[in-house]
Each structure stands twice: as C-alpha cells, then as structure tokens.
Amino acid sequence: MNIYLVEGTVRGYDTYDRFICTAPDEGAARRMHPNGWLYFFDGRGWYSESNDHIRRIGDGYVRDWNNDINDIRVTLLGQDTTDAGQRIILASYNAG
C-alpha cells in the first residue's frame, strides 16, 4: 500500500480539509472520504457501506467534503509496510 496526503477544497466549519491514508493507488485514495470506513465515491455520488449493505447518502452529496473528486489533490508520501490495508491514518476536521 501507498501512503497519500489527500487535500480537498471545501472550506468552512464542520468540514474536512485533508487526510492521510493508505491506499493501493491514487484513484482509490481520491475516492475515500475522510471519515474512512463509512463512505466511498463511485463517480455518481457518495455511498456508505456497512455489514455488506451499500446505500446512497441522501442525494449522493456530502456537506463536509468534496463532491467532485477531480478537485481533490493527492500527493504520494511513501510506502506502508505494515500490510494493514486501506485506511485513514489521520484526518483534519474543522469543527464549528
């Protein structure tokens, strides 16, 4: 797995502005939501997955992170040698 810094453009209170994650490639990192395990982006909107059940988040848009993954900047930081899988390591959240 690679280690990435993922930076969004959404600003304001109750939003994420960046996170560090492990992912197999840049595309997978770009489709992750900063809260990690709950959301993923499939090109049409954000979805949540839990207990083998996938559902669309409301209208598919989130208020706390980018809804256009092309506006997200992804920077490769290094390699993860722990084999812990894809995950969020650290996220920056601007509480209001």
Rounded distance between C-alpha atoms, residue 67 and residue 9, angstroms: 10
pLDDT of 38: 55
Print the domain residue range for 64.
2-94
Task: Using 70 as the pLDDT threshold, list the residues of the chain that sit under it.
Answer: 37-39, 50-53, 58
Would you state the pLDDT for residue 37? 57
> Average per-residue pLDDT in the chain?
86
Q: State residue 6's pLDDT score.
A: 97
Count of domains for the chain: 1
Furthest-apart CA atoms within the chain: distance in Å: 38
* Angstrom distances, CA of residue 47 to CA of 17, 68, 84: 19, 14, 23
Please tell me the predicted confidence (pLDDT) of residue 91: 96
For 74, left (φ over 0), alpha (ψ -120 to 50), or beta?
Answer: beta
